[in-house]
Structure 1
């Protein structure tokens, strides 16, 4: 075949290439149909169809066994130096007393409990 290609003109080679691409598409489609039929037979052996085996098919979700436990409140991390009963966990919005202390130049680590 190699020697035949060397003797062909460019037009003949281009036609051969187009014909080969068409035949490749036909062969792939035929192989795909065969594979699909084989997969359907294999799924049927287990009592399924292919749509049921797809990953994005709806799957029965497990229901939680009991009620969820409430989240535990976080422990305070910072305390107001003027009023130690006023605390902050370090999460969420910063309280005004914390912002004021930082503006005065107090290091946040000095406010830690």
Structure 2
């Protein structure tokens, strides 16, 4: 690595150097990713698979949407499944004296 006297550079030169370094880092990372991809792809082929076949295994499986159990009294499109945090409208109603069963579907 060369010894570069940064103190001798102007602000413009330093900013250009910063851009050049960022670009060089990006290019380096892309080359590293490409090399890693080639290695993994070759290993997958050796095992009789394609990389997309293996990649689909790592995709998270989403659970189906939960069935709504509670409905907003004024807007029937707003529901809650009973999972996770209580929606604000339901928490406010319960704090106001209503019971959870009042909103059951």
TM-score (normalised: structure 1): 0.45
TM-score when normalising by structure 2: 0.48
